[in-house]
A and B are shown apart, each in its own frame.
Chain A
């Protein structure tokens, strides 16, 4: 049901954890529904230099989190915001139709982390 690449990201997930003093944190999902993703990012000069995640969820949700955190590193905020659920799924070698929402969750958690970063930057002293 899952591609080899997805299984690799599930069994050896990259970037597990949280960044101390992260610049932005985003969470999406609800444990009663099956998955929750929490992504933290480090931003320098408008680029995401580091990203980490913690995920409660199925194999696809964990693999998506791992892949999203890999994909955003080195990207500008706008480039990162342009990452779609389809792009994440494609990078993982495809997702079964009933698991596409996991991919959505990854893109949404990332978007929230970026919004959090922008909000903090706007509110606090630069």
Chain B
């Protein structure tokens, strides 16, 4: 197996598994219990909180554990908007955001908020000047992700944070895709909230965190007990949180050293060069330079992404696609469309994302085995010689 889907999930780091084991076995206590079994569990949660805080240069009390990245994003958008409604009812989000940001924003629209969806350029980058232009007297929250899992583009988060600080507007960034690859530092003016997902950096699934700057009002999504300072009720997922903490410590050390990011950047550049050199009519999506280490994404003309994935998988290459057919919703990726990529070209989306387990040999394998997949599918495609008269049709009605 050649795993090239680190944006989907990562294998659990052995150190994270080890950190989890006691809390899956003998240390099964509830962190709220007063006896020492509860105390051990409570200590595990607080140790992990300090580890996660250290990863992004936050204070431990600014970390709220969640069940994952999607919850962290929902919590940030909904919780910050509702808690600050008396100040205004306008939000600004980019079109690059994950559904777990966009969908809560859409729900808020139904509840009376106005939302500006920021357009992006061809590379998928948000223009900070556009953010500033979109600000009104009513604006209370801006949300722009740190980097795109779909096209790898790194967004100008620091510039946007500075704009938010200048206008005294809350700013949330979804750092789920970038946390394993880029250092995040919330200890500067402007960043109010930041989302993390454990399994995106070698922790377990089912754990995430939202950083919320001290003193910021946020409405809970889940009401109940006093866990997480009353901001997120429910007995803590102690083993997963312990695993997230261990993974966060490893990532922090890796990022400080910088060797892994450099290695992945090298593999990325090699893969991009190899694919663009080996496949005609293939285009890099996302920014050519300001992109995540380990992220190589393309649109391949005249064939469809799901078919590419399946045929690649048959050769042991596991990748991802933003094509309509590969999504349950049967819609081409809104991210690719918002970048100005045509709907038919977006069907040929393929994303290779690399991480700790990816080797140079894996990249060589993809460079040699992926072009034949494209060649085979083009032999089957009616468009091998060009799109011809194929027309754009933005409203696709799926007949059943």
User: Smallest CB-CB separation from A27: which chain B residue?
Assistant: B382
| B223 contacts chain A at the CB level, 8 A cutoff | no
Task: Evaluate whether A34 and B332 lie within 8 angstroms (CB atoms) in the complex, with A56-B303, A59-B307, A101-B399 already known.
Answer: yes
| A21 contacts chain B at the CB level, 8 A cutoff | no
A61 to B308 Cα, complex, angstroms:
13
A104 to B400 Cα, complex, angstroms:
7
Within 8 A of B (CB), among A78-107: 98, 100-101, 104
A55 to B302 Cα, complex, angstroms:
10
Mark B249-282 against chain A: 1 for CB-CB distance below 8 A, else 0.
0000000000000000000000000000000000
Task: Evaluate whether A54 and B382 lie within 8 angstroms (CB atoms) in the complex, with A10-B307, A34-B396, A35-B304 already known.
Answer: yes
In the complex, the answer to whether B392 meets A32 with C-beta atoms within 8 Å is yes
User: Smallest CB-CB separation from B392: which chain A residue?
Assistant: A32
Q: Which residues of B contact A (CB under 8 A)?
A: 302-307, 310-311, 314, 323-326, 328, 330, 332, 342-344, 347, 379-383, 387, 390-394, 396, 398-400
In the complex, the answer to whether A55 meets B382 with C-beta atoms within 8 Å is yes
User: Smallest CB-CB separation from A30: which chain B residue?
Assistant: B393
- A109 smallest CB distance to B (angstroms): 11
In the complex, the answer to whether B307 meets A57 with C-beta atoms within 8 Å is yes
In the complex, the answer to whether B400 meets A54 with C-beta atoms within 8 Å is no
| A42 contacts chain B at the CB level, 8 A cutoff | no
Mark A52-68 against chain B: 1 for CB-CB distance below 8 A, else 0.
00111111111000000
A55 to B344 Cα, complex, angstroms:
14
By a CB distance below 8 angstroms, the chain A residues around B380 are 13, 16, 54-55, 62
By a CB distance below 8 angstroms, the chain B residues around A38 are 382
| A11 contacts chain B at the CB level, 8 A cutoff | yes
- B347 smallest CB distance to A (angstroms): 6
**Nearest 3 CB-CB pairings of A with B:** A33-B396, A58-B325, A32-B343
- A3 smallest CB distance to B (angstroms): 13
By a CB distance below 8 angstroms, the chain A residues around B305 are 58
In the complex, the answer to whether A34 meets B310 with C-beta atoms within 8 Å is no
Tally chain A residues at the interface, Cβ within 8 Å.
28
In the complex, the answer to whether B400 meets A55 with C-beta atoms within 8 Å is no
In the complex, the answer to whether A11 meets B311 with C-beta atoms within 8 Å is yes
In the complex, the answer to whether B310 meets A33 with C-beta atoms within 8 Å is no
User: Smallest CB-CB separation from A10: which chain B residue?
Assistant: B310
By a CB distance below 8 angstroms, the chain B residues around A59 are 306-307, 310-311
By a CB distance below 8 angstroms, the chain B residues around A61 are 304, 307, 325
By a CB distance below 8 angstroms, the chain B residues around A98 are 328, 330
A104 to B325 Cα, complex, angstroms:
15
- A31 smallest CB distance to B (angstroms): 4
In the complex, the answer to whether B392 meets A100 with C-beta atoms within 8 Å is no
A56 to B391 Cα, complex, angstroms:
14
| A36 contacts chain B at the CB level, 8 A cutoff | yes
In the complex, the answer to whether A57 meets B304 with C-beta atoms within 8 Å is yes
In the complex, the answer to whether A36 meets B306 with C-beta atoms within 8 Å is no
Choose among A27, A32, A101, A104 the residue that contacts B393 (Cβ–Cβ < 8 A): A32
- B338 smallest CB distance to A (angstroms): 15
A-B contact pairs, 8 of them (CB 8 A): A16-B379, A30-B396, A31-B390, A32-B342, A34-B325, A54-B381, A56-B382, A59-B310
By a CB distance below 8 angstroms, the chain A residues around B383 are 31, 36, 56
